[in-house]
Structures are given as C-alpha cells and as structure tokens.
Amino acid sequence: MIRQHSAVEFQLFLPAFLAKRPEEHYKFLMLTPNACKIYFYLPALAVLLLLSKSLTNASGDAPEKIDTDMKVLFEFTGADPSPEWPATNDTVMGGVSVGKAELTKEGMDFSGHLSLENNGGFASVHLGVDLDLSDYSGIRLKVLGDGRVYQLRFESDAIHRQRWPVSFRGDFETVDSEWAEVFISFSELSQTWRGSRLAGHNFSKDDIRRIAFMLADGQAGEFTLKVAWIHAAY
C-alpha cells in the first residue's frame, strides 16, 4: 500500500520538474525513482504538462517571456485570436506581387512572392489601430526571418499635401531561419510617401493610427516573415 506523502515532498519535486525543458517533462516523470508517489499529485501534474506543451512553438523552442518593462501590443503566440491584417500590394499600381498575413498560434506569417514586373516591387499587410505610446521609445519585435530586410511602418496624424497620410518607416534585418528580437526606435524613423523620402513631418507617438509590415527590398522571389509578438519598449 502506497502511503500518502506530504505537500513538502511535492514542493521539493516541483522545482526540478519546472527546470526541465517542456519536451523532457514526460521522460523526467517516468525516470523519477519515486514515481509511484506522483499518483497522489496527478491532477496538478496534468495541468503542468498541458501548460508546458502550450509553450512549445513549431520549431520546438519555447518563445521567451517578455520583460515587464514592455507593453504588450500583439501576442500572436497566445490562445486568444488576433485581428486580421489586410494586405496592400503593388497590384494597386499595376504590379503583380502577392503578399498576405496568416494568423496561427505560433505567430503571424507575412508571406508571398515579390515581383518587380510592371514597375512594382512591394507587398505589405497592415492594421488600423488607436494607440498612445507617448511613454515609450520604440517597438520591440520577435521575428523569424528569411535573411531579407523588412519595414515596420506607422501612420499618425501627419498629412502630406493636405491629404495623404505620411508613413514613418523603420527598417530591420532578419537572419534566415533564426528567431531574433528587433528594436525599432521612434526617434530614428524616416518619413515616406509612396516610396519617396520626406522631411518636416513630426511623428505623433500619442496618436498612432496604423501599423504595417512591408517588403520592398528590390529582390524578386518568395518571402516569409513570422512575427511572434509586438511590444512597446521604454
């Protein structure tokens, strides 16, 4: 007959369990010399196993937790559904590039084919927002790239020629098939309108109305960018 064990024994077991990688938890339980004791705690362990599994992404690596000095804007790896990001590609001016966003529990996939035909050459996805980030210095992303240079774009209340919204652009490089964190400073954003550089407009951090990802690196071919999360950083 298996005797009951106190909560103290479970408290000694729990840190060792949590120190293991998610994929090692089951093996750890099976190889524990006193595995028979675990039957007393099966309900709690079942919850722990489910939580550890949910932290594992498609590549087998658990996304890192974000520092508390950041504000969550979008967390694409969670269970909650995220809003759809519509596409705007060079087809609006006669081009034939294709780009779209697909939302999964592993991240937002911005992918497609960039074409330079018909004077085209850009693909983008965007989302209308209403954000006041006046207390923050920039945006931090976690991305899985393909070695190409992407753009993160913002629109605020700045208008060109009394009509057209000005885009504020920050470029970031990616490493092929590797996750990386990228920081884009608000103070280093460049001003653009339909691909042309501008000057004299101020970026209003307290009135951000649109966020977009764009590819326009002048290289034709397939592309894919996975975004795990977007946070505002101090």
pLDDT band at 180 (very low <50, low <70, confident <90, very high): very high
Contact assessment for residue 74 and residue 140, using Cβ atoms and an 8 Å cutoff:
no
Residues 218 and 119 in one domain: yes
Residues 125 and 163 in one domain: yes
Residues 120 and 173 in one domain: yes
pLDDT in tens, 11-62: 555 556 556 555 555 555 555 555 444 544 555 555 444 545 444 444 445 4
* Residue 53 in tokens: 């599994």
Residues 40 and 129 in one domain: no
pLDDT band at 68 (very low <50, low <70, confident <90, very high): low
Residues 96 and 47 in one domain: no
Domain count, the chain: 2
Residues 13 and 83 in one domain: no
* Residue 69 in tokens: 């000095």
Q: By residue range, what is the domain housing residue 208?
A: 70-233
Residues 217 and 167 in one domain: yes
Q: What is the pTM of this model?
A: 0.70
- Please state, as a whole number, how many other Cβ atoms lie within 10 Å of the Cβ of residue 139: 25
Section 148-175 average pLDDT: 92
The DSSP H or E segment spanning 25 is helix 25-31
Question: In angstroms, rounded to a whole number, what is the distance separating the alpha carbons of residues 233 and 72?
Answer: 9
Residues 157 and 188 in one domain: yes
Question: Is residue 203 in some structural domain?
Answer: yes
- Give the pLDDT score at 18: 57
Question: In angstroms, rounded to a whole number, what is the distance separating the alpha carbons of residues 76 and 73?
Answer: 10
Per mean pLDDT, which range of 46-50, 108-112, 157-161, 223-227 is the poorest? Answer: 46-50
pLDDT band at 162 (very low <50, low <70, confident <90, very high): confident
Question: Is residue 1 in some structural domain?
Answer: no
Residues 27 and 94 in one domain: no
Taking alpha carbons only, the member of 203, 205, 207 closest to residue 233 is: 205
Question: In angstroms, rounded to a whole number, what is the distance separating the alpha carbons of residues 157 and 6?
Answer: 62
Residues 38 and 75 in one domain: no
Question: Is residue 59 in some structural domain?
Answer: no
Residues 124 and 207 in one domain: yes
Residues 33 and 129 in one domain: no
Q: For position 134, which CATH number holds?
A: 2.60.120.430
Question: Is residue 64 in some structural domain?
Answer: no
pLDDT in tens, 132-143: 999 999 999 999
